[in-house]
Structure 1
Amino acid sequence: MIGMLAPFTIDTYLPSFPAIEAELSANRDLLSQTLAIYLISFALATLFWGPMADRWGRKPIILISLVGYLVASILSALAQSIETLLLGRALQGTMLAGSLVASRAMLRDFFQGDEAQKAMALMMMLFTAAPALAPIIGGWLEMHLGWRSVFYFLAIYSVIIIMLFSLRVKESQSPEHVQSIHPLRILKGYWQSLVHPQFLRLVAAQGFIIGGFFVYVAGAASVVFDHLKLGEQDFWILFVPVVSGVLVGSILIHRLTHRFKATTLINVAFTLASLAVIINLIFESFLPVQAWLVIAPLVLYSFAFAMANPGLSLVALDCLPSQRGLASSVQSLFQMGMAGLVAALVVPYVQHSLQWMAISQAILVMLALLLWLSVRRQIQTTA
């Protein structure tokens, strides 16, 4: 449920863009920054939450950050200006980062070897349900209750998670893995992660491939409203097929982890992602705009993304086994940071053209592939 909260926070309010624009007197580019600031705040906050999870344990950090997220969601719902909404979104990202970083470290605490990759794939399967449901729920809430109800929905959902988590989940961190939060130790830990050649390239590759995904997530309003000429109830036409690709990829990875090495599955994933962006470039450059031509390559890309992500995550975390909370925070920094940079610096300049969106995605995938090719021979794992 915690994993689903992140995509809910990203996607549920997208159908409300026209209503928010009208009520808060904000243009599309400025409103897009509410997504960018959420992602960037999330990314930066992981640098704080990771060491806290290594020192104080996973469960306390998850509960504290969820309470903060609840407050931020209510602030967003009450916003009377775009500035207040931007503040609320920044706080949402800052607080939610804690629960995501700690929960990922908790998963790695509980599971080892093949079971860890299966658990990560299962988490990805649950994670994928939210983007399919989020715009549908958001569209219904917008139509019947208005855009503010979207943020009240997120607040209520966080309360449910807090109650269930506090009652049913135990602390996973063993006492011997408790780390100091002395600033010098934290800085040393981050420095070790950044100079670790394999870890740095793995998390950067993961960031770029996620960035390629977010070209279309952050630009979803423009794709649906401007290019496909659809309405606020039609976001499912984009999100359900794309999320289905992620779901199928996650199911496949869940079944194949005991038969193939993580490196083999990641190689296949990058091959499929490269094929997807090539097809996308051809479609957007030479064929007329049609919904299925826009969506089909994205389904293949999302399938490849789901295949690559669990393996990349686990291989990266295993580079720093005694500091998984810190490693998870750096991993999240690259993932959400790249997503935020794409939303802030790329999408506003390319969302006017499906061809330029396809080109942007292709460049990001090429960078991810080059990083993976540079490190895969050094990865020794049977996961």
Structure 2
Amino acid sequence: MTKAQGTHPGPWLSAGRTAAFGALLVTIGPLSMALYTPALPTLTDVFQTTSAVAKLTLTVYFAGFTVAQLICGPLSDAYGRRPIILGFFSLYLVGSLMAWFAPNIETLLLSRLIQGIGASSGVAVARAIVRDQFSGEAGARIMNLLALMLGIAPAFSPTIGALVLGAFGLQAVFLLMVVYAACILVLTLTVLPETNLYRDAKLIQPRYILSSYWTLLKSFEFLRPSLILGLTIGVIYTMSTILPFVLIDQLGLSPLQFGLGMLLQSGSFFAGALATRFLLIKFTTKVLLNPALFLCGLGGLALFGVTHFGQLSFVGIMIPVGLFAFGAAMAMPALSMQGLDPFPGIAGSASALMGFMQMACGFLGSLVAAVIVPDPVVALGVVMPGMALGALFLHLLPFKKRAMEDEAVTHSGKPPR
């Protein structure tokens, strides 16, 4: 396969602009939850439903987000990054409008599913845009900038969501999502150049999709960092479904207090990304990965101790959560680039499968918390530590690298034959 016909339609984005635009794309996932989580207890009153059904609105969002990534990634390899962003974010806009005007819980569930499908392109395409232009330590620094910016919006989103909820009601929260999606669409049309120079429509054929994913799944170089990252980021997604019911229902915080309190989690993630930015001046991402994952494991152990042996309190819960978030932000750049670097020709598929693993871990974690361990305090003290220690175990467990069977895909960018 050769590069797409013609020259590049615009200048390559600078590192800063790549990180900023990528952050806008990946933020749609946590933003769609962070704005929304303070309203979960309110939702049960507005739609006259139960807390289990309220949690289900997050679960269906996870499901749509998780599965759709496996399609939009190969689509972006085949047709380019821009058209996929435009198509899927238009779908997200439709889902947000449906949620805004939802007359009942059934419509809201459907709208959240559509939102999840539409938002899936954010994670899948953002990392591919970075990989299209950068690799190695340079790419890791961009991923760190992306993580740095990713920490900003979720840090303030619960507070904004709580303020909007208190002032204007539940529907106004979804109106914010409508505005965000519209901004992404306008920026994509006016600012983003097409970065995928290897796009080829053949890559969307089922045999190519399956071959690409099989190449990734049998690769040690992809699978190990992706599973570790999936468990790590999956913890953050899982906590978003548990913490509102622990902090609001169990500890008596108001939605606004909850939103303000969540600044500790997102602020810690931001602080971890900022610290990593300065540490990368002297250290490689590989060197920083060990302490990062140890911090995640320590946070998990501390949360287990607090929920099982200590006095339940806001500070006692949020300090371990903040410790974990700090370590997760440090680990993200190294793990992302370790999984993407060997696969320039199928970067969209690699990014999509990596994102799928993250959301799948978050989905499974939230499902366990909602169904198998319905007590939110017990779930917080078991599910999160288990996932955090699982990531650390995978990192420490020695693996023997297997030879890549399809060098054409991993290094030359050609599709599988």
Measured against the shorter chain, the TM-score band is: over 0.9
CA contact (8 A) 2:131 2:344 kept: no
* Secondary structure class of the residue paired with 2:345: coil
Identify which of 79, 82, 87 aligns with 2:105.
82
Partners in 2 of 1:376 and 1:156 — Cα distance? 46
Partners in 1 of 2:342 and 2:398 — Cα distance? 12
Partner in structure 1 of residue 164 of structure 2: 141
Identify which of 264, 288, 291 aligns with 2:314.
291
Identity %, equivalent residues = 27
1:240-319 matches, cutoff 5 A: 240-319=263-342
Partner in structure 2 of residue 122 of structure 1: 145
Partner in structure 2 of residue 170 of structure 1: 193
Deviation at 1:353, TM superposition (A): 4.7
Partner in structure 1 of residue 89 of structure 2: 66
CA contact (8 A) 2:140 2:333 kept: yes
Moved more, 342-351 or 75-84: 342-351
1:22-33 matches, cutoff 5 A: 22-33=45-56
CA contact (8 A) 2:247 2:314 kept: no
Question: What is the identity, as a one-letter code, of the residue corresponding to 1:326?
Answer: S
- Tell me the TM-score normalized by structure 1: 0.93
* Secondary structure class of the residue paired with 1:323: helix
Partners in 2 of 1:340 and 1:322 — Cα distance? 29
Question: What is the identity, as a one-letter code, of the residue corresponding to 1:71?
Answer: V
Is 2:393 the partner of 1:370?
yes
Task: Classify 1:141/1:100 alpha carbon distance in 2 versus 1 (closer, same or farther; 3 Å).
Answer: same
Partner in structure 1 of residue 359 of structure 2: 336
Partners in 1 of 2:214 and 2:304 — Cα distance? 39
CA contact (8 A) 1:73 1:154 kept: yes
1:316-331 matches, cutoff 5 A: 316-331=339-354
* Secondary structure class of the residue paired with 1:32: helix
- Tell me the TM-score normalized by structure 2: 0.86
Question: What is the identity, as a one-letter code, of the residue corresponding to 2:330?
Answer: M
Partner in structure 1 of residue 34 of structure 2: 11
CA contact (8 A) 1:11 1:131 kept: yes
1:272-330 alpha-carbon deviations (Å, 9 max, x no partner)? 11221222222222221221111111111000010111111110112323211000110
Question: What is the identity, as a one-letter code, of the residue corresponding to 2:394?
Answer: L
Moved more, 242-251 or 273-282: 273-282
Partners in 2 of 1:356 and 1:48 — Cα distance? 32
Question: What is the identity, as a one-letter code, of the residue corresponding to 1:312?
Answer: L
Task: Classify 1:216/1:238 alpha carbon distance in 2 versus 1 (closer, same or farther; 3 Å).
Answer: farther
CA contact (8 A) 1:222 1:352 kept: no
Deviation at 1:126, TM superposition (A): 1.2
Identify which of 189, 206, 218 aligns with 2:212.
189
CA contact (8 A) 1:120 1:310 kept: yes
